[in-house]
Amino acid sequence: MTNTTTKVHHKTESHGAPALTEDEVREAVEGASVPVLLMVLYQVTGDESWIGPRFAPSHFRGVSPRPTGDIAEADQRVVRDAAVDAIASLLVHRRPVLDLHDVRDMEKAASFFLGEPIDRRYAAILTEELRRRSADSGDLDELPDVTPPAGTRAIVIGMGISGLAAIHLLQQLGIEFTVFERGTDAGGVWHQNRYPGAGVDTPSHLYSFSFDYRDWDRHFELRDELYEYFNGVLDSLDARTEVSFETEVVSAVYDDNTALWTVTTRNRDGDLDTHVANMVISGVGSLNQPKLPSIAWREKFEGLQFHSNRWPDGLDLTGKRVAIVGAGASSQQISPSIAPIVEHLAIVQRSPQWVAPFDQFREEVPAAERTLLQHLPLYRAWNWIGLFYQHGDKIIDALRVDPSWPHPERSVNRRNDRQREFLTGYIESALEGRPDLIEKAVPDYPPFGKRMLLDNGWYRTLKRENVDLFTSGVSDVTRTGLTLSTGEQLDVDVIIWATGFEAARFLSSLEVRGEGGLDLSKAWDDDDPRAYLGVSIPHFPNFFMLGGPHSLPGSGSFMYFMELQARYLRDLLAEMFRKNITAISATEDSTNRYNELVDTMHSKTVWTHPGFATYYRNSKGRVIFVMPFLNVEYWEMVRRPDLGDFDILEDAAVQQAR
- Domain range holding 478? 295-361+404-497
d(CA 628, CA 613): 17
Residue where a domain stops, chosen among 497, 530, 550:
497
Categorize the per-residue pLDDT at 297 as very low, low, confident or very high, splitting at 50, 70 and 90: confident
Instruction: Please give the pLDDT value at position 267.
Output: 97
Task: State how far the alpha carbon of 596 is from the alpha carbons of 541, 593, 622, in Å.
Answer: 22, 5, 12
Instruction: Please give the pLDDT value at position 140.
Output: 56
Q: Which amino acid is at 363?
A: E
Categorize the per-residue pLDDT at 139 as very low, low, confident or very high, splitting at 50, 70 and 90: very low
Average pLDDT over residues 478-485: 96
In this structure, is residue 144 part of a structural domain? no
**Tens digit of pLDDT for each residue in 76-105?**
999 999 999 999 988 888 789 999 999 999
96 plus 119 within the same structural domain: yes
321 plus 282 within the same structural domain: no
Residue where a domain stops, chosen among 444, 470, 497:
497
167 plus 211 within the same structural domain: yes
649 plus 529 within the same structural domain: yes
Q: Is the pLDDT of residue 160 over 70?
A: yes
In this structure, is residue 145 part of a structural domain? no
214 plus 277 within the same structural domain: yes
What's 604's domain CATH number?
3.50.50.60
The pTM (predicted TM-score) of the whole model is 0.93
Residue where a domain stops, chosen among 437, 472, 497:
497
Q: Is the pLDDT of residue 146 over 60?
A: yes
Does an H or E element contain 248, and which? Answer: strand 247-255
Categorize the per-residue pLDDT at 15 as very low, low, confident or very high, splitting at 50, 70 and 90: very low
In this structure, is residue 569 part of a structural domain? yes
Question: Residues 6 or more apart from 299 whose CB is under 8 A from it?
Answer: none
Instruction: Please give the pLDDT value at position 141.
Output: 66
- Tally the domains of the chain: 3
d(CA 8, CA 141): 10
Question: Residues 6 or more apart from 245 whose CB is under 8 A from it?
Answer: 159, 181, 183, 184, 185
127 plus 241 within the same structural domain: no
In this structure, is residue 399 part of a structural domain? no
**Tens digit of pLDDT for each residue in 353-364?**
999 998 778 889
Average pLDDT over residues 117-144: 83
SS3 319: coil
42 plus 94 within the same structural domain: yes
Instruction: Please give the pLDDT value at position 383.
Output: 95
Query: Which DSSP letter does residue 547 get?
Result: S
Percent of the chain with pLDDT over 70: 95
Judged on CB neighbours under 10 Å (0-12, 13-18, 19+), 599 is middle
In this structure, is residue 474 part of a structural domain? yes
474 plus 341 within the same structural domain: yes
Average pLDDT over residues 530-558: 94
Q: Is the pLDDT of residue 248 over 50?
A: yes
In this structure, is residue 10 part of a structural domain? no
User: Can you say whether residue 648 is alpha, beta or left, with left for phi > 0 and alpha for psi between -120 and 50 degrees?
Assistant: beta
Q: Is the pLDDT of residue 13 over 50?
A: no
633 plus 609 within the same structural domain: yes
Average pLDDT over residues 290-301: 83
114 plus 240 within the same structural domain: no
Identify which has the larger pLDDT, 554 or 164: 164
**Tens digit of pLDDT for each residue in 484-542?**
999 999 999 999 999 998 888 899 999 999 999 999 999 999 899 999 999 999 999 99
Residue 546's Cβ-side half-sphere holds a number of Cα atoms within 13 Å equal to 31
In this structure, is residue 140 part of a structural domain? no
461 plus 388 within the same structural domain: no
Q: Is the pLDDT of residue 22 over 70?
A: yes
**Tens digit of pLDDT for each residue in 573-604?**
999 999 999 999 999 999 999 999 999 999 99
Phi and psi (nearest 5°) for 77? -65, -40
315 plus 375 within the same structural domain: no
SS3 54: helix
In this structure, is residue 218 part of a structural domain? yes
